[in-house]
Structure 1
Amino acid sequence: MDKPVNDELGFSDIIEPLIKGWRTLALAILIGSISGVVIYFMSGKYYLATSNFIPTVTASSSLGDLAGVAKIAGLKVPEQEGGLSPILFPKLVNNVEVRLKLAELPLILSTGDTSTFRDYIVNVYEPSVLGKVAKLPKKLKSLIVPSRESESIDLSFIKLSDEDFMVISELEERINILTEQEDGAVTIAVEMPEAILAAQMAKHVEAMLQQAIVDYKTTEISNEYEYIVSTLEKKKKEFEEAQEELSLFADRNLIITSNTAKIEFERLESNLRIKERIYDQILNEKELTELDLNKSIPQFVVIKPVIIPYEKASPSGMLYLIFFGTFGLLVGSIIVMAPFFKKFVGYSKSTE
């Protein structure tokens, strides 16, 4: 005879079905744990290499050379007007051209062979079972949609091939760049199946990002410097021509007797002085601009250099076991308690 069901649930009412259904709970936990172990071995294992640095610019603050030290100490240093916000740093290496260049940089595999990221992903790397399943829709799509070959449309545009898109997608999945707005610190994290490859790719990304920051910070003043240098060359040539013209005139007129010759000599001499002043002024401006250019070049304070990771970064097997075992316990509890809750709900409706 069934035990009467009370209007209110007590602790014993909940525990009793769980105790009676312990075999179901044990089976659910076992199935969940086994599923976790299987999924763990089917999933990809990756090594994580990181780098952390702070870009500092001498001219970016009234603190001068102490700006970088102040940032490291946690003090907020005002950004130079027109400067590049740290939030935009990742965008400097996220464009297609940079990604394609990054894919062609050399890598030394654990076997000692030399390769590139593109060659490694296309010809060497073997994804995990779950990785293959995740990429199955893309492969099915490639069978339906004709493949695209890389071809030049005109002098300004390039049509990317399916392989290019695949390589760029792999780079986006494996490279992560984080920045802190307050101190401008940049953290680069790269995941790769091999530890040595993770470290090399992190170093490549670090170098490309730092060069991109330097180029951005110095573009305007570099253009100004190049213009001054080209102008200086022209003025130097004009100054030397004025010197030569005055010398030739003086050699032809060792004794100046006529007023015409005297006036011509004074004119050439005056023209030489003007050319000399202009040349000296531009030369001085070149030296000042060169100094400003050197000041504007960011210096990078490396907080954490790239090192070859020792341990795998992907979740451990124990975490998979605990998670899926707990999930199995939850599913088993629902199965065991379902009849009781159904009976309780039915009794409550009958007493209304």
Structure 2
Amino acid sequence: MTLEKKQPTPTAKPTADDEIDLIALAKTLWDGRRKIMFYLLAGAILGLVFALASPKEYTANTTMIPQTGSSVASKLGGLSSLASLAGVNMSNVGDKESLPPTIYPQIIQSIPFQVELMNTPFKCPDVDQPVSLYDYYIDYKKAGVLENVKKYTLGLPGLLLGVLKGEQEEGALLDSTLASSLISLTEDQDKVVKILNEQISLEINDKEGYISLSSRFNDALLAAQVTRKTQSMLQDYISRYKLDKANEQLKFIEARYAEKKAEFELIQNELAIFRDRNKYITTATASTQLEQLQTQYNLAYTIYSDWAKQLEQAQVQVKENTPFLTIIEPVRVPLEKSKPNRPLILIIWIFLGGIIGTGTVFGQELYNSVKERWSE
């Protein structure tokens, strides 16, 4: 009886291969340590340059709660049902709601808003007298190192295209009649609008019911000034919208009030004439006619009096000056800069340098291995 020879388990060799691979990996890194250190040092130098060259930014914030007004239909109360009996459709009155907060970011980014903001004078850094943001960015503020690098590297094709194309004269594409009804920005104005859109932001917190307005600038005082001015302008734009809506509602109510007043006076005269002609009512027909006229009179008087009350409310609503944004956190001058985070920039560049150095070492090792096999 012969015993079968037991086959060895094939688990030891892969483990040894793994150990050999790890050792070879460590040896490759050790042999290329000088190159890795070079890239680490290069990454540290570049990170230090970018960290020091990055401009400072200060962020000023304010928190507000929008106040939504009630619609006219809710103020009318039971007038809608009474008016429907008289054939008046008041469904359009309830559509005049207050401006929803979701529209606020579009208001801030609109061209008329941005143009008004850029033409407002502020106390800007390195400028003796208050100047507008347009003049500050076009005439006073110099581009930083990173902005110049970006301009003459990534933006070089655009510069060359602009030189070849040439500058177009203002208003060349618009005649005098059309230009008066359309918004036309110059190249410098468009540049400032893009800058403001990037530096001013408004966030809406639907869950908590508040909005947060912030602006980022290279000067703490300028950031606070722009944030407060933007807040004031947003309040004015909302109030202007509400005032326009209130005027529309007032015109609508005045028209309906005049109609119902004329109808009431007509029925009132008919009732008075009927009573003068029928001082002594002896027949059932006359009594029924009197009841019908009296019912029409009462209904017309009720609707007329309700429209008179609503007219008075609409007139008060037009004249009232109620703020539609309640300020929870006022604007204050920031003490600490929000950007740049120089330690983080330095760490990221050192990390990138280590990755590039390690990749270069293993790439060179792979290239040498493929070259030797190709030679064989």
Scaled by the length of structure 1, the TM-score of the pair is 0.68
Q: For 1:42 and 1:173, how far apart are their aligned partners in 2? A: 20
Question: 1:128 Cα deviation (Å)?
Answer: 0.5
Q: For 1:104 and 1:230, how far apart are their aligned partners in 2? A: 41
* Counterpart amino acid of residue 120 in structure 1: Y
Corresponding residue for 2:102? 87
Q: For 1:49 and 1:182, how far apart are their aligned partners in 2? A: 23
Question: In structure 2, do the counterparts of structure 1 residues 159 and 149 end up closer, same or farther at CA, with 3 Å as the change threshold?
Answer: farther
Where in structure 2 are the equivalents of 1:41-80 lying within 5 Å? 41-59=52-70
Question: In structure 2, do the counterparts of structure 1 residues 329 and 45 end up closer, same or farther at CA, with 3 Å as the change threshold?
Answer: same
Work out which of the residue numbers 121, 128, 146 in structure 1 matches 2:166: 146
Work out which of the residue numbers 196, 210, 226 in structure 2 matches 1:185: 210
Corresponding residue for 2:197? 172
Question: In structure 2, do the counterparts of structure 1 residues 145 and 175 end up closer, same or farther at CA, with 3 Å as the change threshold?
Answer: farther
Question: 1:112 Cα deviation (Å)?
Answer: 4.5
Does structure 2 conserve the Cα–Cα contact (< 8 Å) formed by 1:149 and 1:162?
Answer: no
Deviations 1:244-290 (A, max 9, x none): xxxxxxxxxxxxxxxxxxxxxxxxxxxxxxxxx99987663332224
Work out which of the residue numbers 339, 353, 357 in structure 2 matches 1:328: 353
Does structure 1 conserve the Cα–Cα contact (< 8 Å) formed by 2:204 and 2:211?
Answer: yes
Residue 27 (str. 1) matches residue 30 (str. 2): no
Deviations 1:202-248 (A, max 9, x none): 11211222222333345322322356679999xxxxxxxxxxxxxxx
Question: In structure 2, do the counterparts of structure 1 residues 300 and 212 end up closer, same or farther at CA, with 3 Å as the change threshold?
Answer: same
For the residue of structure 1 that corresponds to 2:59, the secondary structure is strand
Does structure 1 conserve the Cα–Cα contact (< 8 Å) formed by 2:55 and 2:340?
Answer: no
Residue 160 (str. 1) matches residue 185 (str. 2): yes
Corresponding residue for 1:131? 147
Does structure 1 conserve the Cα–Cα contact (< 8 Å) formed by 2:69 and 2:97?
Answer: no
Corresponding residue for 1:300? 325
Does structure 2 conserve the Cα–Cα contact (< 8 Å) formed by 1:86 and 1:184?
Answer: no
* Counterpart amino acid of residue 31 in structure 2: K
Question: In structure 2, do the counterparts of structure 1 residues 334 and 154 end up closer, same or farther at CA, with 3 Å as the change threshold?
Answer: closer
For the residue of structure 2 that corresponds to 1:59, the secondary structure is coil
Does structure 2 conserve the Cα–Cα contact (< 8 Å) formed by 1:149 and 1:161?
Answer: no
Work out which of the residue numbers 117, 123, 126 in structure 2 matches 1:102: 117
Q: Which runs of 5+ in 2 are unaligned?
A: 1-15, 72-94, 259-301
Question: 1:310 Cα deviation (Å)?
Answer: 1.7
* Counterpart amino acid of residue 68 in structure 2: V
Moved more, 277-286 or 91-100: 277-286
Question: 1:342 Cα deviation (Å)?
Answer: 5.0
Does structure 1 conserve the Cα–Cα contact (< 8 Å) formed by 2:70 and 2:98?
Answer: no
Residue 114 (str. 1) matches residue 130 (str. 2): yes
Q: How many residues align?
A: 287
Question: In structure 2, do the counterparts of structure 1 residues 310 and 230 end up closer, same or farther at CA, with 3 Å as the change threshold?
Answer: farther
Deviations 1:85-129 (A, max 9, x none): 433211112221111111111201245411001110111111112
Give percent identity, aligned residues only. 24
* Counterpart amino acid of residue 98 in structure 1: F
For the residue of structure 1 that corresponds to 2:325, the secondary structure is strand
Question: 1:344 Cα deviation (Å)?
Answer: 6.8
Question: 1:148 Cα deviation (Å)?
Answer: 4.2
Scaled by the length of structure 2, the TM-score of the pair is 0.64
Deviations 1:38-94 (A, max 9, x none): 22233332222222211122537xxxxxxxxxxxxxxxxxxx995544332111122
* Counterpart amino acid of residue 216 in structure 1: Y
CA RMSD of aligned residues (A): 3.9
Question: 1:346 Cα deviation (Å)?
Answer: 8.5
Question: In structure 2, do the counterparts of structure 1 residues 280 and 192 end up closer, same or farther at CA, with 3 Å as the change threshold?
Answer: same
Q: For 2:96 and 2:306, how far apart are their aligned partners in 1? A: 28
For the residue of structure 1 that corresponds to 2:333, the secondary structure is coil
Q: For 2:68 and 2:322, how far apart are their aligned partners in 1? A: 6
Moved more, 222-231 or 322-331: 222-231
Structure of higher CA gyration radius: 2
Question: In structure 2, do the counterparts of structure 1 residues 313 and 161 end up closer, same or farther at CA, with 3 Å as the change threshold?
Answer: same
Does structure 2 conserve the Cα–Cα contact (< 8 Å) formed by 1:175 and 1:190?
Answer: yes
Q: For 1:228 and 1:83, how far apart are their aligned partners in 2? A: 18
Q: For 1:83 and 1:13, how far apart are their aligned partners in 2? A: 72
Question: In structure 2, do the counterparts of structure 1 residues 135 and 346 end up closer, same or farther at CA, with 3 Å as the change threshold?
Answer: closer
